[in-house]
Structure 1
Amino acid sequence: MEVNIKYTICFIRKGHEILLLNRQKSPWMGTWNGVGGKIEAGESPMDCVIREVEEETGIHALDVKFKGVVSWIVDNKRIGGMYVFVADIDHYEFPTPRSTREGILDWKDFAWIVHEENVGIANLHYYLQRIFQEDMVYDHQFVYHNREVTGFNSVPYIQSTFETSISS
Structure 2
Amino acid sequence: MIFIETLVYIVRDNKVLLIRKKRGLGAGLYNGVGGKVEEGEGIVDAAIRECEEEIGIKPMNLRWSGLLEFWNYEDDKVESVHFVHVFITDSFDGKPIETEEAEPLWFDIDKIPYHEMWEDDKLWLPKVLEGKSIYGHFDFIRWKLTRSEVYELKPTE
Taking structure 2 as the reference length, the TM-score comes to 0.80
Q: Distance in 2 between matches of 1:68 and 1:61?
A: 17
Question: Are 1:82 and 2:80 matched, yes or no?
Answer: no
Q: Does 1:145 align with 2:144?
A: no
Shift of 1:134: 4.2
1:27 corresponds to 2:25: yes
Q: Structure 1 residue aligned with 2:50, among 49, 52, 64?
A: 52
How many residues in Structure 1 have an aligned counterpart in Structure 2? 148
For the residue of structure 1 that corresponds to 2:127, the secondary structure is helix
CA offset at residue 84 of structure 1? 0.6
Distance in 2 of aligned mates of 1:35 and 1:16: 18
- In structure 2, distance between residues paired with 1:146 and 1:60: 33
> For the residues of structure 2 that align with 1:48 and 1:92, how far apart are their CA atoms?
16
Match of 2:104 in 1: 105
Residues 1:119 and 2:118 aligned together: no
Q: 1:17 to 1:94 in 2, by over 3 A?
A: farther
Segments of 5+ residues of structure 2 without an aligned counterpart are none
Q: In 1, Cα distance between the equivalents of 2:124 and 2:94? A: 27
- C-alpha deviations, 1:53-110, integer Å up to 9, x for none? 1222222251111111111123485822211111113x97847xx4211121110111
Per the normalisation by structure 1, the TM-score is: 0.76
SS at match of 2:58: coil
State the identity as a percent. Answer: 24
Runs of 4+ in 1 over 3 A off after TM superposition: 74-78, 91-95
Decide whether aligned partners of structure 1 residues 43 and 13 sit closer, same or farther in structure 2, where only a CA change above 3 A counts: same
Contact 2:9-2:18 at 8 Å conserved across structures: yes
Calculate the aligned-residue CA RMSD, in Å: 2.6
Matched, 1:15 2:20: no
The CA distance in 2 between the partners of 1:45 and 1:53, in whole Å, is 13
Matches of 2:72 and 2:35 in 1, distance apart?
A: 21
Q: Distance in 2 between matches of 1:134 and 1:87?
A: 10
Letter in 2 for 1:70: L
Deviation at 1:153, TM superposition (A): 0.8
Amino acid at match of 2:150: S
